[in-house]
Amino acid sequence: MQATRVSEIVHLHTRDSVVVALRNFAAGQQITVGDRVITLCDAIPAGHKIAIREVAVDQPVIKFGWAIGTATSKIDPGQHVHTHNLRDNHTIDLEAISTEIPDDPEPIGDFTFQGFRRPSGKVGTRNYLAVISNVNCSASVARMIAKRFDEQTLATFPNVDGVISFRHEAGCAMAFDGIRHRMLSQVLGGIARHPNIGGYLLVGLGCEQGTLDHLVKSQKLHQLQLPGSDSADANELPVLSIQSIGGTRKTVERGVEIVAKMLPQVNAARRSEVPASQLVLGLECGGSDGYSGITANPALGAAADRLVACGGTAILSETPEIYGAEHLLTRRARTRAVAEKLLERIEWWKGYCGKYGEEMDSNPSVGNKAGGLTTIAEKSLGAVAKGGTTALEAVFEYAEPIDRAGFVVMDSPGYDPASVTGLAASGANLVAFTTGRGSCFGFKPVPSFKIASNSSLFHRMREDMDFNAGEVLEGKSIQEVGHEMFLRLLATASGEKTCSEELGIGDEEFVPWLVGPVM
């Protein structure tokens, strides 16, 4: 995509039948597109679409060079194109499979960051101690244990970023070893093994369906090899059962003792220089607007391309926000099997929505539409730009451990907390999060680097935004902004705090996505 910016509009592709407004327009004002002057029939909000050629009823409206839906009434040049005259009409292209596999990027080997090397071979960007509840019934106890370790208590452990509790609504009232149970175990296991976790404590009730024993065995959990650990019980897995210990208060006190004993060992970890190939970057967008697919997402894609060239990993998620643009990924899939797995996941989502009488086009939120996005195809065409331009190497299930470098997809909902929870459980040690409306998201233990799609948002919510991709609309190229973003991401991985970390956001956003009946 090569966008042409003409003062107050953006023309994204020569085939497009619309342009995007960069400011609010009143009806009767004029815009210039090429050698044509078009008088606006309607008032056009910033970020919204303006028709630049006639589109007949049931004919496609083109943006990004692709159809984003069909006209529900005749559209004339100068009209506002949105929900009143555009509907989604997407059909999946089953022929565009591995037809445009890009050449591998020229390797880049001179970028590094300061990270925590773990015995597993993985590298952390943060160093937290986790208290993990396996069932909702032990959530309060896990929270009470973690809350005992405030900033003042941790002042003597400067290498520990915090003690955090992971709490959720599930763990019981589900089929033993059923899909809901397996998904939860995979998420909790992924958090326990996460390279940003220097040590962990598991807390359960005692009678839950999702037993601690099942979690430990199914996820092959074991006592982390902590630096400086020489105690006799160093190989014992820290697991607490409230019923066995004798109730809430006794379990909290025992948990506090265990965490206090682990802190010096977790604190013994030190950052060291590691290659950028050790970065596993989760690509996320939330609160998108009409600029997201023009500025922030393609600039993040340029940064992701640089990471892949370094040998690192970039993970695209939010499968409902791939629907409508899946052909852009299947064309560059490394193998047919990779493309077919992505298509299988999309078909699963279509069936999943259909069970409840809903459609994939329900995805664009009220905020998305207010920001100028109309259909899921339009939203997805902008969203997949986060994945850059390199070959799609693999498609993973939700929270499945990522074992491939390069650009990959992990299946997840479009709901940000659930998606980022899955990215973290899969092994992402940093999240790059684009937003156009202004999402205030954070997620411990993985830093969430917030990227504003427009300068107005960046300056209006300066305490929440880490990076201004709106500079793309002010003269900088996507590649230039992408490179600047890549350098900032490396600095964040080295310990530079994000805005959400400075604000203390991230303790409440752990939301495992679980499929299956609650019994």
Give the orientation angle of helix 416-426 with respect to helix 179-192, to 10 degrees.
Answer: 60
| Residue 41 phi, psi (nearest 5) | -80, -25
Q: Is residue 107 situated within a structural domain?
A: no
Are 481 and 496 contacting, i.e. CB atoms less than 8 angstroms apart? no
User: DSSP for 35-73?
Assistant: TEEEE-SS-B-TT-EEE-S-B-TTPEEEETTEEEEEESS
User: DSSP for 141-208?
Assistant: HHHHHHHTS-TTGGGG-TT--EEEEE--S-SSSS-TTSHHHHHHHHHHHHHHT-TTEEEEEEEE-SS-
Distances (CA, A) of 152 to 148, 156, 261: 10, 8, 17
Q: Which of 206, 241, 267 is the last residue of a domain?
A: 267
Q: Are residues 322 and 407 in the same domain?
A: yes
Q: Are residues 330 and 473 in the same domain?
A: yes
pTM of the predicted protein model: 0.93
Residue 94 has a pLDDT of 80
Q: Which of 267, 288, 304 is the last residue of a domain?
A: 267
Q: Is residue 162 situated within a structural domain?
A: yes
In 3D space, the residue among 86, 226, 214, 191 whose CA is nearest the CA of residue 422 turns out to be 191
Cis amide prior to 445 (ω within 30 degrees)? yes
Chunked mean pLDDT (size 10), the chain, 519 residues: 64 94 94 92 94 96 93 96 92 86 93 97 98 98 97 96 98 96 98 97 96 94 54 66 97 97 97 98 94 96 98 97 94 97 95 89 79 90 96 98 98 97 98 96 98 97 98 95 98 98 97 94
- As a whole number of angstroms, the distance between CA 157 and CA 129 comes to 11
Tokens of 75: 């559209």
Q: Is residue 508 situated within a structural domain?
A: no
| Residue 66 phi, psi (nearest 5) | -130, 160
Tell me: the pLDDT tens digits for 134-191? 999 999 999 999 999 999 999 999 999 999 999 999 999 999 999 999 999 999 999 9
Q: Which of 33, 65, 87 is the last residue of a domain?
A: 87
Q: Are residues 374 and 256 in the same domain?
A: no
Query: What is the count of structural domains for the chain?
Result: 3
Q: Is residue 366 situated within a structural domain?
A: yes
Q: Is residue 382 situated within a structural domain?
A: yes
Q: Are residues 174 and 260 in the same domain?
A: yes
Residue 4 has a pLDDT of 46
Q: Is residue 442 situated within a structural domain?
A: yes
Q: Which amino acid is at 271?
A: R
Residue 234 has a pLDDT of 47
Q: Are residues 289 and 200 in the same domain?
A: no
Q: Are residues 201 and 285 in the same domain?
A: no
Q: Is residue 254 situated within a structural domain?
A: yes
Residue partners of 75: CB distance under 8 A and separation at least 6: 17, 51, 54, 55, 61, 81, 85
Q: Are residues 80 and 139 in the same domain?
A: no
CATH code (residue 155): 3.40.1400
- As a whole number of angstroms, the distance between CA 426 and CA 189 comes to 10
Q: Are residues 411 and 288 in the same domain?
A: yes
Our CA dihedral for 303, 309, 312, 315, rounded to 10 degrees, sits at 50
Q: Quick count: other Cβ atoms within 10 Å of Cβ 394?
A: 23
Helices and strands in the chain, H and E counts: 14, 24
Our CA dihedral for 352, 353, 357, 363, rounded to 10 degrees, sits at 170
509 in helix, strand or coil? Answer: coil
Q: Is residue 202 situated within a structural domain?
A: yes
Q: Are residues 204 and 236 in the same domain?
A: yes
Are 281 and 313 contacting, i.e. CB atoms less than 8 angstroms apart? yes
Q: Are residues 318 and 179 in the same domain?
A: no
Tell me: the pLDDT tens digits for 38-80? 999 999 999 999 999 999 999 999 999 999 999 999 999 999 9
CATH code (residue 23): 2.30.130.110
Q: Are residues 395 and 296 in the same domain?
A: yes
- As a whole number of angstroms, the distance between CA 182 and CA 219 comes to 10
β-bridge mates for residue 274, sequence order: 113
Q: Are residues 312 and 443 in the same domain?
A: yes
- As a whole number of angstroms, the distance between CA 383 and CA 301 comes to 10
Quote the domain boundaries for residue 223.
Answer: 126-267
